[in-house]
Structure 1
Amino acid sequence: MAELSDAAKLRMPGKDVLQPGPKRDLVAELYVHYRLAARPPLPKIAALTGTESNPHKVSRETIRRLLTGTTTSQWAVVDALLLALCQLQDRDPDGRRWPEPDDSRWDENDPTTCREHLRRLWNDDIDGLEPDEAPASPPAAPAPVPPARQASGGWGGTPSPPADNPWTAGGASQSTPQTGGYSDEPPF
């Protein structure tokens, strides 16, 4: 009887409870899969997590909190929930999100998978980004800092140490990288 009450009480939060934005978008996507899986009881979903095909065990309380938008959790947890819901609907999470051309949501130019779309929404929620603010691709790696600037310390200091510096007077130069932090050897 407890299983029935869990399923009967779990509904998509209203806009007065979960404001429009990245978290609501994430929860709405989870609800797409929850509904397609026929709103299974939380213990049934939890039982499917932690199995051989879905190695990350998720508690029914965490599942409830994800579906109500009261937590975001780690990606491994969200992914485990998706895998369990996809297993209940006999669907591949790495398959195309809207596989049927007769579906009103079908977009021939959008090959996004269920997992890719959910991960993008999860990242947007973590970053607090609205969908139109989210980066389309990963940002470019920062340009490397030229070695001359690194040697100067970045504050306009001289690139070489003063001649009376006891830590470098023995022939070591500042451009030689330190490998283990501070030396226990005295400078003299």
Structure 2
Amino acid sequence: MNLRMPSEDELPPGATRAFVEELFTYFKEGERPRLQDVANQTQVSRETVRRLLRGQTFSRWETINRVFEDFCKRAGINPDERRYPQWGEASPSRRQYLKNLWNKAVDEPLPDAIPEEDSALPPDW
């Protein structure tokens, strides 16, 4: 079964969704490789690759960059070419654009905290 982009119900609009959409573009351009094949090439676990594409984790940039480079290689895309060539010098590279989105996603506030009465943690935790 092919991995699909999360729906807006699963991953609401915002910085995290924008990051996942961009990464998912390269995944699709690389013909949706088997996650285990990506894991073997990048030395990133299959589960981490899956969670990145679902917006369920924010790995370190080095990890994301390895996955991104693998997707680009499979798609025949130069990760350092301009993301928006029509912008000329003002356009970031594809890699820098993804990194900017990642930074925004990492800095995005988390969803509202679980109300204390529903929390499994002790009150003084």
TM-score range, shorter chain: 0.7 to 0.9
The Cα of 1:46 is off from its aligned counterpart by: 1.3
**Residue 29 in structure 1 maps to residue 10 in structure 2:** no
Shift of 1:109: 5.6
Deviation >4 Å, runs of 4+: none
Alpha-carbon deviations, 1:63-97, whole Å to 9, x = none?
00000011111111111110110111122211122
Aligned to 2:95: 115
Q: Which amino acid aligns with 1:94?
A: D
Question: Which structure 2 residues correspond to residues 93-172 of structure 1 after superposition, within 5 A?
Answer: 93-99=79-85, 106-108=86-88, 110-128=90-108
Report percent identity of matched pairs. 39
Q: Can you give the 5+ residue segments of structure 1 that lack an aligned partner in the other structure?
A: 50-56, 100-105, 130-188
CA distance in 2, matches of 1:67, 1:119: 15
Name 1:12's counterpart in structure 2.
5
Flag the structure with more relative contact order, 1 or 2, with Cα contacts below 8 A and sequence separation at least 6: 2
- Aligned CA-pair RMSD: 1.6
Q: Which has the larger radius of gyration?
A: 1
Partner of residue 113, structure 2: none
In structure 1, what is the Cα distance between the partners aligned to 2:75 and 2:84?
14
Look up the match of 2:76.
90
Question: TM-score with structure 1 length normalisation?
Answer: 0.54
In structure 1, distance between residues paired with 2:84 and 2:74:
17
Structure 1 or 2: more helix by fraction? 2
SS of the counterpart of 2:69? helix
Instruction: Report the number of matched residues.
Output: 109
**Aligned mates of 1:11, 1:33 — CA distance in 2:** 13
Partner amino acid for 2:6?
A: P
Distance 2:88 2:31 in 1: 27
